[in-house]
Amino acid sequence: MGEEPFRIVVAEPFSKDALARLEEVGQVEVLTDSSPDALIAALENAHALLVRAKAHVTARVINAAPHLKVIGRASPTVDHIDLRAAGRRDIRVVYSPTAAVNSCAEFALAMLLALRRRLAFYDQQMRQGKFDALRSPTEYSIGASCIGILGIDAVAEQFGRALQIAFGCRIIVHDPWQTPPSLFEAEAVDLDTLLRTSDALCVFLKPQRETRGFLDAERIGLMRPTSLLVNLSRGVVDTTALAAALSERRIAGAALDAYESDPLATDHPIRRAPNCILTPHIAGMTIDAIEGRYGVAEDVIRVLKGAAPHHEFTPTSMR
């Protein structure tokens, strides 16, 4: 008799092509409920678990899955997975770090340009009937600005490269793990210099315990009243402190696509802050990027078959 097929649990919606590929190597169960209790109930005999954005793979979930070999997340991050618990069980964690890089970089650039050139303000004023009174120089161009980048990852690399090629920007960077950029030229500075010097601060720190609340009230307070903030990193910016800084005109503007938690609370003060662009964590959600994330299924299959995955999350991935 042949070996029993792999049992694979897919906890959230996946593409049809990815599901069909998984079904070639095992029995696939697609859940309609990704709560911890539902995961625990489904994982008793499972060899693989695939998640996307909402499922939280906690230590309790992992410890309830005695046969689990691999966890795959269709996302550039793995912040909903207890990596220590997975490591203690020698469970491999694979993910999709490159799928949404271009989408996120172009979104960050769009946010920066919209803030710097005050597009939302001019649109609003035009709709109120104004025209000639608006036509006076009020901002420096992006090319004449000092752009600060906090955190160097693949998205930051593409963002910085685009800025430098298109506009010739002066760029300064600070990375807590001293990762240098490779696709653009920049001056590495300490954190205080980054905050005090940047005309626009663009945040790309990876979400993890060490970076949660990294830009708190004290650090935001080091920024200049003319400075802008663009953030694509979940949990890195204290959005309550940022709302206060914007309301008190201690910084000039902000654009956020990620927050401490999703969805953003309806009564959160950042919703009422002036000159603030808010988007619903959508930077990486282009059709091509979403389809690319489901390539994680191939890495799950590689692990199940004893091969090395292409994109495994390890401690060095955090740097």
Q: What is the pLDDT of residues 142-160, one digit of tens each?
A: 999 999 999 999 999 999 9
pLDDT value of position 319? 47
Q: Which two tokens stand for residue 36?
A: 């911890």
Q: Do the beta carbons of residue 223 and residue 203 sit within 8 Å? A: no
**Percent of the chain whose pLDDT exceeds 90:** 86
pLDDT tens-digit profile of 64-84?
999 999 999 998 889 889 999
pLDDT value of position 77? 85
Residue 20 has pLDDT above 90, yes or no: yes
pTM exceeds cut of 0.95 = no
Residue 121 has pLDDT above 70, yes or no: yes
The whole-chain average pLDDT of the chain stands at: 94
Q: Which of 86-90, 95-99, 147-151, 205-209 has the lowest mean pLDDT?
A: 205-209
**Which residues face 49 on adjacent strands?**
9, 71
Alpha helices, DSSP H, located in 5-134: 16-23, 36-42, 59-63, 83-88, 101-116, 119-127
pLDDT tens-digit profile of 168-204?
999 999 999 999 999 999 999 999 999 999 999 999 9
Does CATH number 3.40.50.720 belong to domain 101-278? yes
Residue 2 has pLDDT above 50, yes or no: no
pLDDT value of position 110? 98
**Which residues face 304 on adjacent strands?**
none
Q: Which of 52-61, 68-77, 135-144 has the lowest mean pLDDT?
A: 135-144
User: For residue 248, what are the contacts with CB-CB under 8 A and spacing of at least 6?
Assistant: none
Say which amino acid occupies 248: E
Backbone angles phi, psi at 29, to 5 degrees: -115, 120
Residue 1 has pLDDT above 60, yes or no: no
pLDDT tens-digit profile of 268-297?
999 999 999 999 999 998 999 888 999 999
pLDDT value of position 12? 95
**Percent of the chain whose pLDDT exceeds 70:** 97
Task: Give the integer Cα–Cα distance in Å for 238 and 217.
Answer: 7
Q: Which two tokens stand for residue 55?
A: 């499922």
Q: Which two tokens stand for residue 139?
A: 């901002």
Task: Give the integer Cα–Cα distance in Å for 125 and 122.
Answer: 5
Domains of the chain, residue spans: 6-99+288-318, 101-278
Domain 6-99+288-318: CATH class, spelled out:
alpha beta
Q: Do the beta carbons of residue 96 and residue 82 sit within 8 Å? A: no
pLDDT value of position 181? 97
3-state class (DSSP) for residue 160: helix
* E strands, the chain, in order: 6-10, 26-30, 48-51, 70-73, 92-95, 146-150, 170-174, 187-188, 200-203, 228-231, 253-256, 276-278
Q: Do the beta carbons of residue 237 and residue 264 sit within 8 Å? A: no
Q: Which two tokens stand for residue 89?
A: 């069980």
Q: Which of 14-23, 55-64, 86-95, 206-215 has the lowest mean pLDDT?
A: 206-215
DSSP string, 282-307: -TT--HHHHHHHTTHHHHHHHHHTTP
**Which residues face 73 on adjacent strands?**
51, 95
pLDDT tens-digit profile of 196-244?
999 999 999 988 888 999 999 999 999 999 999 999 999 999 999 999 9
Cβ neighbours of 155 (radius 10 Å): 28
